[in-house]
Structure 1
Amino acid sequence: MFAKLTSARSFLAAAGLALSCVIGAVAPSTASAAIPYLQLNAQEPKYAAIVIDANSGEVLYDKRADSPRYPASVTKVMTLYLTFEALSEGRLKLTDRVTMSPRAAAQAPTKIGLPAGDSLSVDEAIKAMTVKSANDVAVAMAERLAGSESRFAALMTLRGQELGMRNSRFVNASGLPDSRQISSARDLAILSRATMRDFPQYYSYFSTKGFYFRGNYIKGHNRLLDSMEGFDGLKTGYTNASGFNLAGSAVRDGRRLIAVVLGGPSTAWRDNNMEDLLLTGFDVMKRRSRGERTSIAANIYEDDPSGPIQRPATEQGDGDQAGLKIVLTENPRTPPVKVAPTLKAAQTPSKMAKPAPAKKPKGEWSVQVGAFKSKSLANDQLKLVEKRFSSLVSSAESAVETAGGTFRAQFQGMTADAARAACSAITAKRQPCMVLSPR
């Protein structure tokens, strides 16, 4: 719907959604009423976590993964998902300008700090959100894409439901405190997986450690990008009410894991917990490949902070929303699906177009090297990868898979080892790549 607002059908759908949001402000829907976010209080443990296999969606570990939590600035992953969607569909270009409205410029820190009427490029805006966690830029982008932040937030909630985020509700684009804005560790893992699956060509933004903006170097908050090998995203978050949050992902030996840690008592504790979960997850995956039956829970010491989160006097937060308080007030565009405990997203039937002569497949695994708004762009990417990595993909069958108006460039018919080796080499050269297991 968000991709085709100009059509009559989408216009009516958007109007209906806007009306439902107005009604919802007066009387919560059955779905939203079922989310017990108002039960959160200072005595309830805030910690929640989950680890999943990015390829299959299998849950390797979870702790209160479905309990409602405040996402804080991890919210911006959804804002970026919709931004990437607009880019992939041609409704937005990286060189387009995003103008600061008075409302955007007035947002609380962390922010870029441009005055109302000034602007920055879409590329700069994406970096400002991923690196600086800029709240003013998130609001400006929301207004650029949907006309208003409230309308954009309704679209965020709708897209989340389509992705399978059953316990999430968005009311703003930044993650600034609002007791109505809630999510869960499982939902944020679903969102993280969908972002890297649907828009691998933009995923590298999440591994940006810093960038220059108008002569000043802006350094990011995600310290694991410097300290953990293979860690490449995604987003930090912090408010007094949420504790220290992090949605992260890392790659080892061709395997990618996604983890979400919510409600940590400090930046250091959260980062250490994230690293422990991921490293244990990789070890478990390796041992399972040798036939062992084991789990993360059986191999990790669970130092679970129970009770209220106390902010240490020396803790400065992530620079996201430190000191602010709650105010009471892997397929582009997958259809609504029931999310099984494995988090395996349903995949829509799609047509296969083969830009290159068919080759004899040797396995059932594939690698995806990008998702594009046109078939020709997807074919161009296939040719580029074939030229640069011919020894790795020569035995595979190149194909363009269409789904939801987006064209996915893939190499199919590979063995598991070949797919992982190819993706490891391709990503090492800063090219998008994701391993796809047999369906």
Structure 2
Amino acid sequence: MGKAIFAAFLISLTASLSVTTTANANAKYAGIVIDVKSGKTLYADNADNLRYPASLTKIMTLYMLFGELEAGRVSLNTRMKVSKRASGQAPSKLALKPGSTIRVKDAISALVTKSANDVAVVIAEHIGKTESKFAIKMTKAARDIGMKKTTFKNASGLPNGGQRTTARDMARLGMAIQDRYPTYYKYFSTRSFSYKGKKYRNHNRLLGTVKGVDGIKTGYIRASGFNLVTSVKRDGRHIVAVVMGGRTGRSRDAHMKNLIGRFLKSATTGRRVTPLLASRKVPLPRARAVAAAAAEGNLIPQIRPDEIVTASVTRTASADEPEIGSADDYSKTDITDGWQIQIGAVPSEEAANILLGNAMNVGTSYLRGKVAFTEPVISRGQTLHRARFAGFTNKNAARKACNYLEAKDFACLALR
């Protein structure tokens, strides 16, 4: 065997063995690779064993903050006050002064790049009043997206014996934050951040060095070892991978590169066939963002195509007609006689179908046997697609369905 061939063989053998070697040599180790489009687990080792999340916690802190942005309770320019407790957090931090403020958009960048613990507490106190109350909200949100084994006790990931997670749960969070907040998720690709004259480089060294990596977060405390959640989109494939318990940042990164190189090629190309995570609550203000993501091929309806009926009527709305419609402006078709409900009007049919699927996921008892359909309408020169359910026997039944969906953060209007 020639020297070049033998060297190549050794490199290949080392790569193939490194996954099991890392797992066997390190009791803190856990890893997983998920094919986002198919939902298949391509690799797992200790993926369901409890681990300390460290600063991976801040992914959920940002998940909560993105929710506040989406709901309109804060804007990117909202200033959040720094308490003495927040200022006193252990490094890594921005060294914020008590009584000062920080804008939401700067706080996001500080968590993504610097992984600032003082900023994490500022966010927690702004949203939850206290960090402990915020942690309760974080844990509830984790359960809502299927993170069954995760418990949060703080917003930063600083050491706390009760703060536990798994590699699988962290992979789920890594997918959910992209599904639920595609616009804000882009912050995770920030390479560096400047604040008050100082420049902070992202701790995630895979950004810009591994093709297709678009985020998301590193983490370290002594009890956890070196952690990393990574999202990779390349050649029509999309995986989310998690490595926990690395002995050093360098070895963790090398192992993650190995996982990407080994398993990305096994991921599915083409259209995503898995349902969205964190999709049970999709309020109307998200409609345009959902539609934009759908147009990029990132989202698909969660109900079968044969369950959706597209109404044949396209009509022009008046200039002052609200996008959600009214009982007086509806053009009836044979399939939609009687009482019905509308949960949104969005710029694409695919986004309308997504809203219908999301509603069916949470409103099964109220929507069983109803006809889910979309209807195009022209409003102010733009074609919108109404998302509606028909087949309610009376006004009371339609209103009951609306009341339930509204409690789940959907917009809803009963009409005939």
Query: How far 1:80 moved relative to its partner?
Result: 0.5
Larger RCO, structures 1/2 (Cα 8 Å, 6+ apart): 1
What residue number does 2:163 align with? Answer: 181
Is 1:240 equivalent to 2:218 in the alignment? no
Match of 1:271 among 240, 247, 253: 253
Is 1:280 equivalent to 2:276 in the alignment? no
What residue number does 2:109 align with? Answer: 127
Is 1:215 equivalent to 2:197 in the alignment? yes
Taking the TM superposition and a 5 Å limit, the aligned residue runs for 1:91-106 are 91-106=73-88
The answer as to whether partners of 1:162 and 1:334 remain within 8 angstroms in 2 is no
Cα distance in 2 for residues equivalent to 1:195 and 1:398: 18
Cα distance in 2 for residues equivalent to 1:350 and 1:143: 25
Match of 2:233 among 232, 237, 251: 251
3-state SS of paired residue (1:202): helix
3-state SS of paired residue (1:211): strand
Cα distance in 2 for residues equivalent to 1:215 and 1:241: 33
Cα distance in 1 for residues equivalent to 2:112 and 2:350: 35
Query: How far 1:333 moved relative to its partner?
Result: 4.5
Query: How far 1:367 moved relative to its partner?
Result: 3.9
Cα distance in 2 for residues equivalent to 1:350 and 1:131: 30
What residue number does 2:28 align with? Answer: 46
Cα distance in 1 for residues equivalent to 2:88 and 2:255: 35
Cα distance in 1 for residues equivalent to 2:121 and 2:283: 35
Cα distance in 2 for residues equivalent to 1:349 and 1:86: 13
Query: In the superposition, relative to structure 1, how do residues 52 and 177 fare at CA in structure 2: closer, same or farther (>3 Å)?
Result: same
Aligned residues, how many? 282
Cα distance in 2 for residues equivalent to 1:281 and 1:375: 45
What residue number does 1:203 align with? Answer: 185
Give, as a single letter, the amino acid of the residue that structure 1 aligns with 2:140: L
Give, as a single letter, the amino acid of the residue that structure 1 aligns with 2:208: D
Cα distance in 1 for residues equivalent to 2:350 and 2:136: 41
The answer as to whether partners of 2:175 and 2:240 remain within 8 angstroms in 1 is yes
Cα distance in 1 for residues equivalent to 2:47 and 2:158: 22
User: Superposition RMSD on alpha carbons, in Å?
Assistant: 3.2
3-state SS of paired residue (1:165): coil
Give, as a single letter, the amino acid of the residue that structure 1 aligns with 2:255: N
Give, as a single letter, the amino acid of the residue that structure 1 aligns with 2:40: E
Query: In the superposition, relative to structure 1, how do residues 140 and 58 fare at CA in structure 2: closer, same or farther (>3 Å)?
Result: same
Query: In the superposition, relative to structure 1, how do residues 375 and 123 fare at CA in structure 2: closer, same or farther (>3 Å)?
Result: farther
Query: In the superposition, relative to structure 1, how do residues 77 and 349 fare at CA in structure 2: closer, same or farther (>3 Å)?
Result: closer
Is 1:227 equivalent to 2:209 in the alignment? yes
Give, as a single letter, the amino acid of the residue that structure 2 aligns with 1:238: Y
Give, as a single letter, the amino acid of the residue that structure 2 aligns with 1:149: E
TM-score (norm 1): 0.59
Query: In the superposition, relative to structure 1, how do residues 249 and 398 fare at CA in structure 2: closer, same or farther (>3 Å)?
Result: closer
What residue number does 1:11 align with? Answer: none
What residue number does 2:66 align with? Answer: 84
Query: How far 1:161 moved relative to its partner?
Result: 1.1
Cα distance in 2 for residues equivalent to 1:122 and 1:151: 20
Post-superposition Cα deviations, 1:99-120, rounded to whole Å, max 9, x if no partner, equal: 1100000000000111001111
The answer as to whether partners of 2:26 and 2:245 remain within 8 angstroms in 1 is no
Is 1:67 equivalent to 2:49 in the alignment? yes
3-state SS of paired residue (1:234): strand
Query: In the superposition, relative to structure 1, how do residues 179 and 283 fare at CA in structure 2: closer, same or farther (>3 Å)?
Result: same
Give, as a single letter, the amino acid of the residue that structure 2 aligns with 1:78: M
3-state SS of paired residue (1:156): helix
Kindly report structure 1 stretches of 4+ aligned residues shifted beyond 4 Å: 330-335, 348-351, 379-383
3-state SS of paired residue (1:201): helix
Query: How far 1:368 moved relative to its partner?
Result: 3.7
Query: How far 1:216 moved relative to its partner?
Result: 1.8
Query: In the superposition, relative to structure 1, how do residues 350 and 204 fare at CA in structure 2: closer, same or farther (>3 Å)?
Result: closer
Post-superposition Cα deviations, 1:264-305, rounded to whole Å, max 9, x if no partner, equal: 11111111111111121222237x99xxxxxxxxxxxxxxxx
What residue number does 1:165 align with? Answer: 147
Match of 2:98 among 94, 112, 116: 116
Cα distance in 1 for residues equivalent to 2:241 and 2:66: 21
What residue number does 1:138 align with? Answer: 120
The answer as to whether partners of 1:224 and 1:231 remain within 8 angstroms in 2 is yes
The answer as to whether partners of 1:234 and 1:248 remain within 8 angstroms in 2 is yes
Give, as a single letter, the amino acid of the residue that structure 1 aligns with 2:203: H
State the identity as a percent: 42
Give, as a single letter, the amino acid of the residue that structure 2 aligns with 1:97: R
Query: In the superposition, relative to structure 1, how do residues 212 and 375 fare at CA in structure 2: closer, same or farther (>3 Å)?
Result: farther
3-state SS of paired residue (1:237): strand
3-state SS of paired residue (2:261): helix
The structure with the largest alpha-carbon Rg is: 2
The answer as to whether partners of 1:188 and 1:260 remain within 8 angstroms in 2 is yes
Query: How far 1:98 moved relative to its partner?
Result: 1.3
The answer as to whether partners of 1:86 and 1:92 remain within 8 angstroms in 2 is yes
Unmatched runs of 5 consecutive residues or more in structure 2 = 1-24, 289-295, 301-321, 325-343, 360-373, 375-416
Taking the TM superposition and a 5 Å limit, the aligned residue runs for 1:280-299 are 280-285=262-267
Cα distance in 2 for residues equivalent to 1:380 and 1:173: 36
Query: How far 1:83 moved relative to its partner?
Result: 0.6
Post-superposition Cα deviations, 1:2-30, rounded to whole Å, max 9, x if no partner, equal: xxxxxxxxxxxxxxxxxxxxxxxxxxxxx
